[in-house]
Structure formats: C-alpha cells, structure tokens
Amino acid sequence: MKYPNAVALATVDEQLRPAVRIVLLKHVDEKGFQFFTNYEGRKGRELLANQQAALCFFWDALGRQVRVEGKVEKLDSASSDAYFQSRPRRSQLGAWASKQSRVIESREILEQEMEKLEQQFPHEVPRPDHWGGFLLKPTSFEFWLEQDNRLHDRFEYLPASPGQWKINRLSP
C-alpha cells in the first residue's frame, strides 16, 4: 500500500450538503486522529463551521475497513508548527502557494508563485497562519472485517462510561 494512512474525511457545508475527500492521517493516540490542511480551503472552512466529521479507512487488500465519527477541534499552534517543520521544504512552500479549493487560471501561475516563495524564504519556511492541524475526537467506531458469502463481521464501539466502550455486533 502506497498510503496506508490515507483516510476519507466526510464533512458538511452550511446547507448540510456532504463532501468527502482523502487526507493523510499523521498521528493517532488516545486523544484522537490528527490531520493537517489549509484552514481556508473547503474542508477547513467546513470543519471550522461544523465540527462533526467522519473518517473511513479502507484497506481492500486486507479486507478491512474502520469508520470513525466524532467532533473535530483545531490543534494548538505548537502542534501545527512542529508538524509543519517536519515536512519537506517544497511541501512547506506549497502550503503558502496553494489557495486550496480556489479556482486558478493555470498551473503556470501556481509554479510562478512557488518560484517567488523560494526567493522569499531562502532558509526556514514559517508555517502560514491559514494552515494547521485538526484533531478528530472519536464518539464512535465501526470495524468491518470481510468474510465469505458477504456475511462480514461488523462491530460498533460506542462510549459507555469514561474510558469504557460498549461493543455491539452489527448485521452485515
């Protein structure tokens, strides 16, 4: 698998119209799932306006899927700065150059912007204010395991009490 950390992120806009796109999961721990993006792009704007979101991992070769639903919050600046500094230089410059989700006239304009940024930031590239991380704090999980005859195993995890999860088997 080229991107085992690729995950479909589902959000909704102000009219509750759903949108889904792939993001790369960068960290997971007991607090939740972290990913990074442009706050001014469509997904960033949607997450800032409505903090409910869902993730779906699908690993076809393994016959596995994991769905996660929860509330999203913006990561603190220090976490976003730390991850940004770990990125390759061209990716850092790309965060400045891209007006994510906005219409552009041509690829040439994007490449010209990258050239200008190379000169503007000859050494360290600071994190732009419009770019950073989100944390999805899970409120439910569903694990799907492929089985013969489409009688797949599905397990739903719902919060029961602090630190405890109720596990339900779901019909396929």
Q: Indicate which residues carry an active-site annotation.
A: 150
Amino acid at 50: N
Q: What backbone torsions phi and psi does residue 117 show, to the nearest 5 degrees?
A: -70, -35
Q: CA of 161: how far to CAs of 11, 68, 135, 170, in Å?
A: 27, 18, 21, 21
Distance in angstroms (rounded) separating the CA atoms of residues 10 and 160: 25
Torsion sign (Cα): 79, 71, 19, 33: positive
User: In this structure, are residues 143 and 135 in contact, taking their beta carbons and an 8 Å threshold?
Assistant: no
Give me the amino acid identity at 127. R
* Secondary-structure percent of the chain, ordered helix, strand, coil, rounded to 5: 25, 45, 30
